[in-house]
Amino acid sequence: MLVLVAPGQGAQTPGFLTPWLDLPGAADRLAGWSGAIGLDLAHYGTQADADDIRDTAVAQPLLVAAGLLSASALDAPAFGAVAGHSVGEITAAAFAGVLTEEAALQFVRTRGLGMAQAAAVTQTGMSALLGGEPEDVVPHLQKLGLTAANVNGAGQIVAAGTVEQLAQLAEDKPEGVRRVVPLKVAGAFHTAHMAPAVAELGKAAQSLDVADPAFTYVSNADGKIVDTGAEVVARLVSQVSNPVRWDLCMETFKELGVTTLIEVCPGGTLTGLAKRALPGVRTLALKTPDDLDAARELIAEYSAA
């Protein structure tokens, strides 16, 4: 089985969209999306600096737009399964036909603005812990008042909380943790700090036209397969203040018999996790259009099998 996955916030880098806009029709599509959501995606994806695209209200729509552009360039008729990490789950919902592309961009614009406003209330952030076992790491984070916001598998958990709590974590690492790496995000996402954004997103969800997933849709809330569009959208709302369990998504990939994993632009994070947690699964990250031919070959092999 082939699974298409979309990364979450923090994967963006300055200028990463530049080569993608040379693809036929890409600049026009991006301009249309920009007009629909009131945000110049081309500017932020090609000219803005790291601080500008770190802004949650900018980063989230930018990531969804990049995922949709790169996935459409694959010209793939179907995928065995789709999934997304954090905001990438909105990208996955569009892949699966639950939301139209424009609806996905409008929804993520609301999400990004709401989460940015929630993050402004208290100085918060996130740090990745490399190494350690969940049974040691999670209780230690709870002791410090932190949340295990992303349980990513492959020896990686992301802690979220106030800057003071994260500073204490850097001085008091859990047993087995080799490094604590601050992430380029502007808030404690997937924690109770984001509760105000949940209410705002819930209102936006009420006006969405929703379809059931056309492909197997794996939810990052618990790794479960979700069959209805209504349930997908409900999870997109609640996941803002609840942890991402990418480790459970990868367990589901194993159960489904996934043999190939392609990560859309800006790819790299999820393929890195898969290489460690899913030995034997072929992985490919779409970083630039130069990666498209290799991705199409993998898709052709999958379709012919």
Catalytic residues: 86, 190
Under 8 Å between Cβ of 182 and 222: no
**Contact by Cβ (8 Å): 6, 89:** yes
Is the separation of the CB atoms in 64 and 94 below 8 Å?
A: yes
* Contact residues for 258 (Cβ-Cβ < 8 A; gap 6+): 1, 2, 3, 80, 81, 278, 281
SS3 284: strand
CA distance 29 to 45: 14
The Cα 268–Cα 16 span in angstroms is 13
Token pair belonging to 252: 């589901």
Q: Which residues 6+ apart lie within 8 Å of 266 measured at CB? A: 7, 11, 12, 13, 16, 63, 66, 287
How many angstroms separate the CA atoms of 266 and 146, rounded?
Answer: 28
User: Are the beta carbons of 124 and 162 closer than 8 angstroms?
Assistant: yes
* 3-state DSSP assignment of residue 227: coil
* Residue 205: count of CB within 10 angstroms of its CB: 16
CB-CB neighbours of 131 under 10 Å? 17
